[in-house]
A = this chain, B = another copy of it.
Amino acid sequence: MGSPVTIALDAMGGDFGPSVVIPAAALSLIRHPDTHYIFFGRESEIREQMSDHSPLAAVSRIVHTDVAVSMNEKPSQALRHGRWKSSMWLALDAVKKGEAHAAVSAGNTGALMAMARFCLHMQPGIERPAIAALWPTLKSESVVLDVGANIGTNARTLVDNAAMGAALARALFSVDKPTVGLLNIGEEEIKGLDEVKAAAAALRNPDLPIEYRGFVEGDALGKGIVDVVVTEGFAGNIALKTAEGTAKQIGAYLKAAMTRSLMARLGAVLAQGAFQALRAKMDIRKMNGGMFLGLNGLVIKSHGGADAVGFASAIDLGYDMAASGLVASIARDVERFHNALNTKTETALKAVAQ
User: Which chain A residues have a beta carbon within 8 Å of chain B's beta carbons?
Assistant: 72, 74, 110, 137-138, 148, 151-152, 183, 185, 188, 190-193, 217-223, 231, 233-235, 237-250, 252-254, 257-258, 260-261, 263-264, 266-275, 277-278, 281-282
19 inter-chain pairs at a CB distance below 8 angstroms, sorted by A residue, are A72-B188, A151-B185, A183-B238, A185-B233, A185-B237, A217-B237, A217-B238, A218-B238, A218-B241, A220-B241, A222-B245, A223-B249, A242-B242, A243-B245, A257-B271, A261-B274, A263-B272, A264-B271, A266-B267
Task: Name A's interface SS.
Answer: helix
A268–B235 Cα gap in the complex (Å)? 38
Q: Point out the residues of chain B lying under 8 angstroms from A137, CB to CB.
A: 249
Q: Which residues of B contact A252 (CB under 8 A)?
A: 138
Residue of B with least CB distance to A236: B238
Per the bound structure, the CA–CA distance linking A110 and B190 in Å amounts to 10
B253 & A274 in contact (Cβ 8 Å cutoff): no
Q: How far is the CA of A221 from the CA of B250 in the complex (A)?
A: 13
Across the interface, A152 reaches (CB within 8 A) one of B74, B193, B278, namely: B193
Residues of B within 8 A of A281 (CB): 253, 257
List the number of copies, as a whole number.
2
Q: How far is the CA of A191 from the CA of B254 in the complex (A)?
A: 34
Closest to A266 in B: B270
Distance between A89 CB and nearest chain B CB, rounded to angstroms: 20
Are B242's CB and A218's CB within 8 A?
yes
Please pick, from B246, B258, B273, the residue contacting A243 in the complex, using a CB distance under 8 A. Answer: B246
Cα distance, A282 to B250, chains bound together (Å): 8
Query: Which residue on chain B has the smallest CB distance to residue A224?
Result: B249
Q: If A151-B193, A193-B152, A267-B271 touch, does A221 touch B234 (CB 8 Å cutoff)?
A: no
A267-B270, A267-B272 known; 17 new pairs, CB 8 Å cut-off, are A110-B190, A185-B238, A217-B241, A219-B244, A234-B235, A238-B238, A242-B246, A243-B243, A246-B250, A247-B250, A253-B278, A254-B278, A257-B271, A257-B281, A261-B274, A264-B271, A270-B270
